[in-house]
Amino acid sequence: MSDAYTGPLERVDAWRWRIPKSYKPGMRVDGLIFASEALIAHIRKDKSPEQVANVATLPGIVRHSMAMPDIHWGYGFPIGGVAATDPRAGGVISPGGVGYDINCGVRLIRTNIPWKRAEKRIEKLVETLFDTVPCGVGRGGRVKFGTKEMTRLLERGSPFVVAEGFGWDSDLDVTEGGGRIDGARPDFVSETAYQRGEGQCGTLGSGNHFLEVQVVERVDDEAAARVLGLEEGRLTVMIHSGSRGLGYQVCEDALLELRDAPRKYGIDLPDRQLVCAPVNSPEGERYLGAMRAAANFAWSNRQIMTHLAREAFSQVFESPAEQLGMTLVYDVAHNIAKMEPYEVDGKVVPLCVHRKGATRAFPPGHPELPDRYRSIGQPVLVPGDMGRASWVLVGREGSMLETFGSCCHGAGRQMSRGAAIRASKGRNIRKELLSRGVVARSRGRTGLEEEQPDAYKDVNDVVDVLHEAGISRRVARLKPVGVIKG
């Protein structure tokens, strides 16, 4: 049986494709996929559009079930999926709409360091980062928190670890939500999850997580880049990681606890991976409380790694991080569900916005933006692959009108990890990356093979779709020069 999608995809315009709600019984709204004609050919090759249609059956869903151009197959929801549900209309929360790695996200640190100064030290810098920032499957870190401290961390997020000395107060100003989400309930997090997270705060993990040293290769929007502190030829650092074993366990626990909820609340699902409960039900509130605690863990995790990265840079460049200009540009989550106000039928109401492999992209003037970015819109950080580029975008008004303030989160896989490993047979990916000017180190035996550039769509194609569709605007392209992986 083919894995290709064979259902309808109606072209709306050059950048949008509709799955009509008449496609299958139970769909409450249309599906909407943002993609170019070239990308839609890739997207058809797996069943992720079918998942878009399945999500459209969820109770209380508003407007559309959506997917960004980096869409690919995921658990329940597609990766790249966005859906908002209205609790007033029985709207649900679904762990599959958040994902296993709760608050997996990206942060970007800018520097004053020109590439000419760094070029001869890049190998030493990558080695120092590799030795300083723990990475790899199950690998613990040098920062340990006891149970009482962990409870405070899960409740307070980044402000807790900054107060403990892991970062600067200014970091919190440019972290989504100040690095904390209200309503976290550490008491809803299982003992097993606590144990799995113990010793992992401040660690990179494995899979597609990375720490990358980059050079600002091209600036498309000079005014926005100036506000963000990005200048051509200067180094940046991008960190991509999430809630590690703790978040994974929170998701596992929730899937088990919610397995009978659809029957209890009379919800008919086309896919049991969409297991869900009404937002305002005891089951829904319990998952939300635990999910928010895991999200706070993830922000703390990236905050501690920021501190460690600054230490490594200081060692290699023999200057304090402050003198190196290592300020945080932004940190954004891309696996999360949040209550946010949107207009529905002429009234502004709180909706539960699921973003799985999708980030916020709020436009200029949005009240949740830091003051310094109010004029340009929210920074959107879009990692590409180890061999090509990543992008910094900013949100535009179209995002609020069409996507519940959402944008893509990366290039999007086009090859499974197993297929990527098979495609690497007889090749030396590390040497191939070096030939492209990228120094790479990986803890795992197959880390570089799984994440080789060919495993991903071209991030430039993905970003172009949302730029042309009016959802976000290109600001700067970042070229990788050094990367560490698990």
pLDDT band of residue 261 (cuts 50, 70, 90) is: very high
Which domains are delineated in the chain? 10-89+103-485 (3.90.1860.10)
| 167-to-163, 373, 423, 451 alpha-carbon distances in Å | 8, 21, 41, 30
Burial of 406 (0-12, 13-18, 19+ CB in 10 A): buried
Two tokens, residue 243: 């809630």
What pLDDT digit, counting tens, does each position of 283-341 carry? 999 999 999 999 999 999 999 999 999 999 999 999 999 999 999 999 999 999 999 99
What pLDDT digit, counting tens, does each position of 271-294 carry? 999 999 999 999 999 999 999 999
* Mean pLDDT, the chain, integer: 95
CA-angle at 46, arms to 65 and 85, nearest 5°: 15
What pLDDT digit, counting tens, does each position of 427-462 carry? 999 898 999 999 999 987 777 898 888 889 899 999
Nearest one of 84, 1, 97, 7 to 43, comparing CA atoms: 7
Neighbours of 44 (CB within 10 A): 17
Instruction: State yes or no: is 409 an active-site residue.
Output: yes
**Phi and psi of 466, rounded to 5°?**
-75, -25
In the predicted structure, residue 202 carries a pLDDT above the cut 90: yes
Give start and end residues of each alpha helix (H) in 107-243. 115-118, 122-132, 147-156, 158-163, 169-173, 191-197, 222-228
Q: How far is CA 291 from the centre of its chain?
A: 15
**Phi and psi of 253, rounded to 5°?**
-60, -40
In the predicted structure, residue 342 carries a pLDDT above the cut 60: yes
pLDDT band of residue 2 (cuts 50, 70, 90) is: low
Neighbours of 47 (CB within 10 A): 19
Q: Are 165 and 158 in contact (CB under 8 A)?
A: no
Alpha-carbon span 226 to 237, nearest angstrom: 17
Ranges 186-195, 269-278, 413-422: which has the least confidence: 413-422
What pLDDT digit, counting tens, does each position of 121-178 carry? 999 999 999 999 998 776 667 788 989 999 999 999 999 999 999 999 999 999 999 9
pTM value?
0.96
Question: What pLDDT is attached to residue 235?
Answer: 98
In the predicted structure, residue 233 carries a pLDDT above the cut 80: yes
Question: What pLDDT is attached to residue 348?
Answer: 95
Nearest one of 181, 158, 121, 134 to 340, comparing CA atoms: 181
In the predicted structure, residue 1 carries a pLDDT above the cut 70: no
DSSP state of 319: S
Q: Which of 209, 307, 409, 467 is catalytic?
A: 409
What pLDDT digit, counting tens, does each position of 88-117 carry? 999 999 999 999 999 999 999 999 999 999
Element (H, E) at 190: none
